[in-house]
Structure 1
Amino acid sequence: MSVVRLVIEYDGTQYVGWQIQPNGLAVQQVVEDALARICGVRHRLVSSGRTDAGVHARGMVAHFVTDKLLPMRAYRDGVNRHLPADIAVRDAALACDDFHARYSARSKWYRYSIYRAAVRSPMACRFSWQVRGRLDVQAMREAAELFVGRHDFSAFRASGCAARTTVRELFSVDLVEEDPLLQVDVRGEGFLRNMVRIMVGTLVEVGLGSRSPCEIEDMLSAGGRDRAGVTAPPQGLCLMAVDYAGQDVFPGQKCLDMSETFR
């Protein structure tokens, strides 16, 4: 038996998320269908995590186990011939026998894109959240720094989150200005459902002046969802990369970098 690792990029706009579910078409289902056409049998993909409806990925990692190994180009180029334009296998590689897309992961990198402009952009609307008011980026940076470290993120998870523990460690929360975009890069060992989106919604409220940076500490201590800010819309969020033993997949790649388009 062989373990094959895939790195998958997708525009999540038209999908109910990564994971197969009964209420609509999922990215996982589309990729498994295309893989079956190449392999002749159906393989179940095990992913590094899941993304919600409308969320994108630049580096979703998934693996499957097979007893009939094909050339790696078949799992990339061959599968891509059967995928729609909004999904692509970026890389396929033979992994070690004990590799697991989820359990072998050391950390994940998410990027949230905020479009700062008074007039909407048809080009940006699929991949960013338009915020019309002026944002105090320095205040947002002060607030973002308080998320770094190991905390109980109960206040920053969706009501339907089934995680056994709400304690997570974040390694960094960086704000990068690429006018008119403001990118919020979050790296951590793992995330609760909607955690990054609620963090970003809270940071935007800080940037608009309706909250102070120091309130983040109170939210983390109190733990109630009603203490944190709004949930930012899904289209601004992208899974950039998953880290395995110190190596990003893909390393050095940018996700949906549209900054040049709007200059």
Structure 2
Amino acid sequence: MQAKQERYMRVKMIVAYDGTNYCGWQIQPNGITIEQVLNEHLSRLLKEDIKVTGASRTDAGVHSLGNVCMFDTNTRMPAEKISYALNQKLPEDIVVVDSCEVSDDFHPRFSKSRKTYEYRILNARFRNPTRRLDTYFYHYPLDTEKMSEAAKYLIGEHDFASFCSANSQAQTTVRTIYDCTVSKAGDIITIRVTGNGFLYNMVRIIAGTLVKIGGSDMPADAMKDIIATTDRAAAGPTAPAHGLTMIGLKYE
């Protein structure tokens, strides 16, 4: 009698996490990562070897409200139930906010999408201990109007080599930024960037550059020259990782 063939499906998950205690998304030899934790708990839950593939390889300390990953499985558990079952096992700082079945050609990194990140700065005289893990404390005054004006020069398709760390493995440094805004509520300044993709440390370098412009006599239109030079040395410092949160992706 012929054995019944197991059902195969591809599952997409949306994952939120506090990155404070992790060495980033991607599996590393020197510490625990989000990818490692998901692989281990999914493998135990579904009783098969599961390897997730993520949309964004966030760095150590970076947070997420909506990173996307996928995996293939033969489980009979409905895809939409996996999130509920998995969340009962995961540590408190990782939550799967949605799981669903997708077509076999879906890939979180190579399917066309718009990614949104937010970088948050606590601009105050003194630190706020309740925001120490998700904001970058900067006590010098920042001109948010000038920062907002400078951010507009980033919108569009540009060569963003000035905003890319030296050890990037990207084949091209050309990216498209659809929107970049700077807003302030109380002591919190939020830099929100949406694009078709980002280079290694790109958002953190954008944040560091905007802080440099907002806190100095440098004019807002200096951003235009920084982009044009395609020289990392022309841009500002790389802002600390813990101020960065991946908000999510929208797939076309």
How many Å apart are 1:154 and its aligned residue?
A: 0.6
SS at match of 2:131: coil
Percentage of pairs with the same residue: 37
In the alignment, is residue 49 of structure 1 matched against residue 56 of structure 2? yes
How many Å apart are 1:73 and its aligned residue?
A: 4.7
Determine if contact 1:6/1:93 at 8 Å carries over to the other structure: yes
| Equivalent of 2:137 in 130, 140, 154 | 130
2:40 aligns to what?
A: 33
5+ residue gaps in structure 2? 1-7
Determine if contact 2:53/2:70 at 8 Å carries over to the other structure: yes
2:31 aligns to what?
A: 24
| Equivalent of 2:15 in 8, 26, 45 | 8
For 1:150 and 1:221, the matched residues in 2 are separated by: 12
How many Å apart are 1:105 and its aligned residue?
A: 3.6
Query: Residue 140 and residue 219 in structure 1: after superposition, are their counterparts in 2 closer, same or farther (change >3 A)?
Result: same
Residue identity in the other structure for 2:159 = D
How many Å apart are 1:102 and its aligned residue?
A: 1.1
For 1:14 and 1:67, the matched residues in 2 are separated by: 32
2:215 aligns to what?
A: 208
For 1:222 and 1:69, the matched residues in 2 are separated by: 55
How many Å apart are 1:193 and its aligned residue?
A: 0.5
Residue identity in the other structure for 2:144 = V
| Equivalent of 1:59 in 63, 66, 69 | 66
For 2:170 and 2:218, the matched residues in 1 are separated by: 28
Q: Select the structure of larger CA radius of gyration.
A: 2
In the alignment, is residue 155 of structure 1 matched against residue 162 of structure 2? yes
Q: Give the aligned CA root-mean-square deviation in angstroms.
A: 1.1
| Equivalent of 1:240 in 244, 247, 250 | 247
Determine if contact 2:21/2:61 at 8 Å carries over to the other structure: yes
Residue identity in the other structure for 1:151 = H
SS at match of 1:21: coil
Moved more, 73-82 or 142-151: 73-82
Determine if contact 1:48/1:105 at 8 Å carries over to the other structure: no
Determine if contact 2:144/2:183 at 8 Å carries over to the other structure: no
SS at match of 1:155: helix
Determine if contact 2:135/2:244 at 8 Å carries over to the other structure: yes
